[in-house]
Amino acid sequence: MARSFQLVDVFGQADFSGNPLAVVAAAEDLDSEAMQRITRWLNLSETSFLLPPTDPAADYRVRIFTLEREMPFAGHPTLGTCHAWLKAGGRPKHPARIVQQCGAGLVPIRRDDDRLAFAAPPLIRSGPVDEADLDEAVALLGIERGAVVDAQWADNGPGWLALMLDSAEGVLALAPARAHPKRIDVGVVGPHAGGGEAAYEIRAFFSDQHGAVIEDPVTGSLNASIAQWLYASGRVDGPYVAAQGTRLGCTGRVFLDRDASGEIWVGGRTRTLFSGTMEV
């Protein structure tokens, strides 16, 4: 069966500068095993599969796969899938917003000029990090405990443990271990000096199914949960921009704001760079 696909650049300031996503349309006849096999063959951090919604409130449904597993939610696949659905002619039920159905439930998405933004989903796990987990995270990053200003669980699906350093320079200087004996997902945030384009620098590290430690170029889920932390702690109170992917040669920019109702929105630019037909 021929089905269309798009390769979408998400969060990039320029072409080929964000996080790539493969979006496969008309995936109704693909089972979980086939989706996982396609994802591994494409060898991108995530591939998403578009399906008709089963919830009448949703505009479309998506299943999101990493090279290792299916995810209930992930940020850059949410924006990239929405972009691909719209580009393929999708028409939302309500002009002001799109509603995505995924493993985490319904996720509202809004259009902001040339960007899309999703509403940050509720955290599955939050609160302080215990000593053993913090020791494991700082050992992975190769830093002293004293370098950590604060730490929180920031898990909205992938499992993020978030650490705050005192500066963006400290975040950019990190040289983590190349391997880790078990699964770990660590996000790190540090403030830039005032007056620049970005208020914070973000880096995201995770171990894959083989134990290799990988840095993600730009991570919507992590930025969402860190924004919830920053707003709740009073560190920010207005819109801000986070930079990510700098050490990888990317210029990822994530636009974050909190609306009058307290909803936090995570936005970025999206663009289809390749499209075609998948002949299976």
The answer to whether 274 and 6 are in contact (CB under 8 A) is yes
The answer to whether 151 and 182 are in contact (CB under 8 A) is no
Q: Which residues of the chain have pLDDT under 70?
A: none
**Phi and psi (nearest 5°) for 87?**
-65, -30
End-to-end CA distance of the chain: 5
pLDDT at residue number 1: 76
pTM of the model: 0.95
Q: How many residues does the chain have?
A: 280
Question: Cα torsion at 85, 87, 93, 99 (round to 10°)?
Answer: 40
pLDDT at residue number 113: 85
pLDDT at residue number 280: 82
Alpha-carbon distance of 154 to 232, in angstroms, equals 12
Neighbouring CB atoms inside 10 A of 35's CB total: 19
Domains in the chain, please, with CATH? 3-119+267-278 (3.10.310.10), 125-261 (3.10.310.10)
